[in-house]
Amino acid sequence: MSLRPAAAPITQPVAKLGGQPVWLDKPFWPVSQSFGTPMTFVGQLPVPGPELRMTYLFVTEDDWAVAETYDPDAGENALIVQPGGRTPDFLVGHEIDHGPSLWRHGATWVERVPVEFQVDLSALDEADERALDEEFAWQEATRDGVLRDPPQGDRLPPRSYVGGSPVFWQAEVRVPEPWRFFYQLDGGEGWADEPYALNFGGGTGYAFLSPDEKEGRFYWDRV
């Protein structure tokens, strides 16, 4: 994934972070189980395939680290699929089309500036692909009980991408059956050169789809 700041609000059903969702079906804005407030819209990414279908990612905004936003079933994050998707029973939401959205810090830490980015997807270059393959092979070996040194390459693997296999921060984590890995998105503080504020505890978020691609789950992992 690479990000381009939007010159104007993006109103087409394309891959993006921030702004407001471009709904393909009846709006469903999920609400935090802990606070009863609308979750923050993080972004939308199309489901791969010939038909136009979209996933919408929401995460509870939590300055006190009370909500279990890392838990895929806690009702503190949501990956909504449209059209024809299923909403999990543990999610509560409203039929509203606008709400809180992705932001970053402004000139001061307390200032919050809304952001919106077009997401461009492109093939990995050889160096990134090699770094990703080496990291994934090491994690697979670790999960299988094979002790070996972690990769010593001079390039860290990318943390935000679509497809392939996930690279978790905790090597023992596995993709839960029967879910299928969709994409991963790095978090950030939204300060200095970081484009957005997304609290994954300094880690990375992971999106999964059910085998029929009608339901989504989201989870984040850190060191």
Please check whether residue 44 lies inside any domain of the structure.
yes
Assess whether pLDDT exceeds 90 at residue 52: yes
Q: Would you state the pLDDT for residue 100?
A: 97
Mean pLDDT across 189-196: 95
Q: Is residue 29 part of a domain?
A: yes
Helix (H, G, I), strand (E, B) or coil at 123: coil
Cβ–Cβ < 8 Å for 81, 215: yes
Residue entry with tokens 């990612």: 57
The CA distance from 86 to 8, in Å, is: 31
- The answer to whether residue 180 is domain-embedded is yes
**Residue 184 placed within a domain:** yes
- Give domain status of residue 93, yes or no: yes
pLDDT tens figures, 206-220: 999 999 999 999 999
Tokens standing for 190?
Answer: 């939204």
Q: Distance between CA atoms of 106 and 112, rounded to whole angstroms? A: 6
Tell me if 198 is assigned to some domain. yes
Q: Measure the CA–CA gap between 178 and 176, rounded to whole angstroms.
A: 6
Distance CA 132, CA 71 (A): 25
Residue 133 lies in a domain: no
Structural domain of residue 68, as residue ranges?
A: 2-123+160-221
Domain tally for the chain?
1
112: in domain: yes
